[in-house]
Structure 1
Amino acid sequence: MRAQLARIDAVLVQAVIAAALSFAHLHDVASAAGQDGWKAWAYPISVDLLLVAAWRRLRTGDAKASGWCWFVIALAASLGANVATAGLLDLNAVPAWLRILVAGWPAVAFLGGTLLAHSTPTAHDTTEETDASQDRGEESEDQEDAPDSVPELPPPPVAEPTPAPTPPPAVSVPTALVEHARKVATEHHTRTGRDIDTPTLRARLGVPAPIADAIAAKL
């Protein structure tokens, strides 16, 4: 545990020293290029923030080409300022091209930071969002198409069976009356050419309807 803390402390100390030296070199170059006061202190912050933003974009895995581009630009600005203060450049007589670069750096840093912070989503992210939207649309359609639950109706009442009608009791017809009815039926057929019907037979014999039906059944 102590060894791990010692390694972490060493890395932090090294990072703080490197950041302080780079910060001072960038401040000296900006001040020598005519950016005095608070502006000279803002240049190192701008370069370092652009460097961190580009590195973060590289770590996330999105828009790596843009991340590498702005990482190289910020690294060149930081490394160039460190090298320029090593005695290769007379800070008392800064050339015009360096003044132009220092003066134009805020616009470049603003453009890079804006593009890194507001880059368009990747095709993979767009596909996932589209699929999620389609899934939500299909779920909504399924819910709309689903019919409302219909309440169950009670079963219809079972009809009780209707009792069969009781046949009328058999009517006793005398044989003599049947023979007389046959003569009447024969005479009616000879005269009209048709069989006698029950109403006519009843009228000719002068008997009730049940007796006439029984006689007609025996003819």
Structure 2
Amino acid sequence: MRAHLARVDAVLVQALIAAALSFAHLHDVASAAGQDGWKAWAYPVSVDLLLVAAWRRLRSGDARAAGWCWFVIALTASLGANVATAGLLDLDEVPAWLRILVAGWPAVAFLGGTLLAHTVSASVGSTAEVAEVVDDQDGQQDAPSPAPEPAESITAPSPQPAPVAVVPERPAVPVPAALVEHARKVAAEHHNRTGAPIDTPTLRARLGVPVPLAEAIAARL
């Protein structure tokens, strides 16, 4: 337990040191590029917030390409400030291109944060459609069947041929087109990762749908 706490404390101290130094370097670059006063302190806050938003998107598992894109952009801004203040850049004579980047950063950070916070993955819409289809099927199954009509008179039963068992055909399950497209993406990702086609139980578990709907989707892949 003590070794675990010591490891956590060491990581926490390193994180605090890295955050403080990166914060100070971003402030120095922004101040050298003409952003003085409170504006220079707002730049490191903006970079850190974009890093956190991108990391949360990567942890959620949705739209990972967008998460990696904005994470790399924010990390490049942080590392660039650290390198620039290490003596490789004359902060008294900041080049024009760096002034342009610093001046345009707030708009870039706002765009990235908005896209990361409000982008809805396709799986959310597919899940809603699946729930709607399942509700319709439950409503059809719960419909009361008509009561049998009473017999007019009781007569002696006459010999009848033995009834032949007829297996009713399973009614076709409606499958939304968006759900089929999402299932194709899941099947392709499974094939690329395992080298084998996806089976129906795995597809049902990944989509979270009933067995009849999973079989209907697998038949259309």
Alpha-carbon separation, structure 2, partners of 1:27 and 1:39: 9
Alpha-carbon separation, structure 2, partners of 1:103 and 1:44: 13
1:8-55: per-residue Cα shift (whole Å, max 9, x none)? 111100000000000000000001111111111110010011111112
Q: Which runs of 4+ in 1 moved over 4 A?
A: 147-150
Could you tell me the TM-score, scaled by structure 1's length? 0.64
Residue 34 of structure 1: SS of its match in structure 2? coil
* 2:2 counterpart of 1:5: no
- Which AA in structure 2 matches 1:137? D
Alpha-carbon separation, structure 1, partners of 2:94 and 2:60: 39
Gaps of 5+ in 1: 154-219
* 2:80 counterpart of 1:98: no
Alpha-carbon separation, structure 2, partners of 1:137 and 1:80: 56
* 2:113 counterpart of 1:125: no
* 2:61 counterpart of 1:74: no
Q: Once the two structures are aligned, what percentage of the paired residues are identical?
A: 73
Which residue of 2 is the match for residue 64 of structure 1?
64
Gaps of 5+ in 2: 151-221
Alpha-carbon separation, structure 1, partners of 2:95 and 2:63: 36
Question: Which moved further from structure 2: 131-140 or 58-67?
Answer: 131-140
Change (3 A) 1:13 1:148: farther
Alpha-carbon separation, structure 2, partners of 1:146 and 1:29: 74
- Which AA in structure 1 matches 2:96? A
Alpha-carbon separation, structure 2, partners of 1:37 and 1:149: 83
Alpha-carbon separation, structure 2, partners of 1:149 and 1:20: 78
Alpha-carbon separation, structure 1, partners of 2:119 and 2:141: 36
* Larger CA Rg, structure 1 vs 2: 1
- Which AA in structure 1 matches 2:128? E
Pairs aligned (count): 153
Task: Report matched runs for 1:1-219 at 5 Å.
Answer: 1-122=1-122, 124-143=123-142, 145-146=143-144
1:92-119: per-residue Cα shift (whole Å, max 9, x none)? 1111111110010000000000000011
Alpha-carbon separation, structure 2, partners of 1:26 and 1:148: 76
Change (3 A) 1:28 1:149: farther
Alpha-carbon separation, structure 2, partners of 1:69 and 1:93: 31
Which residue of 1 is the match for residue 171 of structure 2?
none
Alpha-carbon separation, structure 1, partners of 2:58 and 2:136: 35
Alpha-carbon separation, structure 2, partners of 1:58 and 1:135: 31
- CA drift at 1:135: 1.0
